[in-house]
Structure 1
Amino acid sequence: MLRSLFRPLTDRRAERMLGATAVSVVLVIVAMIVFIAIEAWPSFQHNGLSWFGSGKDVDAELGAMVNAGADPSGDAYQLRAWPLLYATALTTVLAVGLGVFIAVLASIFIVELAPPRVRSIVVPVVRLLAAVPSVVYGLIGILVLVPFVNDHLINEGQRESVSYVITLNGPGLLVSVVLLTLMITPIMISIVVDALTAVPRGWREGALALGVTRWRAVMSVSVRAIRPAIVAAAVLASARALGEAIMLSMVSGSKGFSPQPWDGLIFLFEPLRPLAATIAEQSEGIAAPALKSSIYAMALVLLVSSLFLSIGGSLIKRRLRLGTAR
């Protein structure tokens, strides 16, 4: 019996085992999506497309769901989730956009310009930063960034100008985007560095032999060649940013509010709360059926968003590869 277990696998047997494993993973994911969709259906059923709209106080609506009891009426499911959707998209887009810019420049420095000794130190440190728990970033935000923003960047005139709507006391969009960028940038740097390292050195040397500058050779040859890797890094970072809950719950201000760019500089200090942070904060009231269904609806939106991100990233990478091949 033991001999049969430790006997070398034949190609056919290994193929079947790996195929069964892959199918099992897919079935688990499909089952999870189906389960979440079934649990989320009452929320979408009672709201329709207005679930994605605005016009109500989302915090008050979530509070009413908790107080609706175990047998809620249809009105108890009312939710206008636009402020949460907007906050999720805003923090993710700003953080990923800033992170891609920093990651590409940092990767060029590490691969092309940094001395070997510096590179041997920076690369492990970057990979270590990618593994730091999000709660650590949240603590840094609460203890360092939020007090700094509150004491040095927000003045009394700004506080008074919006005091009838919200309170500006440090937590908000600026701190959220800064910390989210710090969280996702190391992931992108690791991927882009590996991709740049894999570019044949002869390609860059050929460009230099034609008389172009080193910077132009890197940008026109190396960076152009790794565009699919940059897209993959952005998609992976976006998925993590979409699902980040603990850190954003700590530093975002935890208010269902939509910061408006036309508010000027105050826009950066206004509080908000993304979907993932809302799920984490409202999970204590999940015993209430209306709130439970709404939480599952938020989770389904995040799942579908990640799915579209993955599909869109794959299509973009395919087109970039075809363009590079030509």
Structure 2
Amino acid sequence: MDYLVSVFQHLTGSQPPDSHALKYTVLHLQAATEVLLKAALSHEHYSLIFNDPLQATKEKWKSGKFNSCGILDAFDRLCNVAGLKLDAGHRTRIKDLTEHRNALQHYGLKHNAYAIESRAARVLEFLLDFIHDHLIPGLEPHEAERVEESMDSFRLQLKAIETLVKQRMNNLRSTLAKFADVTVQCPDCEQWAMLAYNGEEGPRCLFCHQIWPNDAPSGAANYAWIILGQDEVTAVQDGGDPPVVACPECGVSALVTEAITAECRPQATGLCFACGNTFGHLVDCEFGCGTVLNISPDDVEALRICSDCIGNQFGRD
């Protein structure tokens, strides 16, 4: 709970928070999340806190001389062993938070104030619900009372942070409405404010100001990995198609085949981050080269073969 006090102090001390406040927001939010998850896990059984539960002993537990499990292991054990119904989306956010914290430790701060504030608000919302639903019921009455006192203050401060985020999104609403066909959820701040196609400037988020200057493929891969949970290596290993392919219109490898735009959500569509074209029906080249083609299902006479494969198979003029 002390970590959470620090998080709220650093997030609400000034607007926007400075780099020092942002650093400790990330560090202490990750620490708070790990401690709170493991506290709830210990209510199920202390051995579940150990990296290897089979090596757990009461003596090691009481002395604190043991290697504990990771934060994602704690989340998974709460679901799979303790039987808690936790949303997979929260696991993704905790994973991103941990990776961000590790990167900060080694390489310094990479995200700006708006992105961190938006991300932190989502994790904090999860933690306050988690504390109320799964931690307080297992505490002694005097402990529960102290935690509840802190929770009242946390809820008010979280509401203030969420209000600021909402106000910034409201200010962007009219602008974003003009680009709904290429607006997607930003992988940095998770707001629906990223212009996947922004002309020659490259993808850009209007909320947190993250940009991928002249690098549509990187923006597309980042979106597919963080927002959609898809990456090329895993997709291919699982026998599926890569999430980002070459666009049949511009030829740049920046076409996300299952993007969800503000205009079409919750339905997925093909969206190229390099030229802004959307594709309702994509088919794979029948020769298995990995090229995708934009062919209408009504066009029964169209060849499902790319030009390269036609040249390789039947010769070129």
Which one scores higher on RCO, CA 8 angstroms, separation ≥ 6?
A: 1
TM-score, normalised via structure 2 length: 0.25
When you count helix as a share of all residues, which structure comes out higher? 1
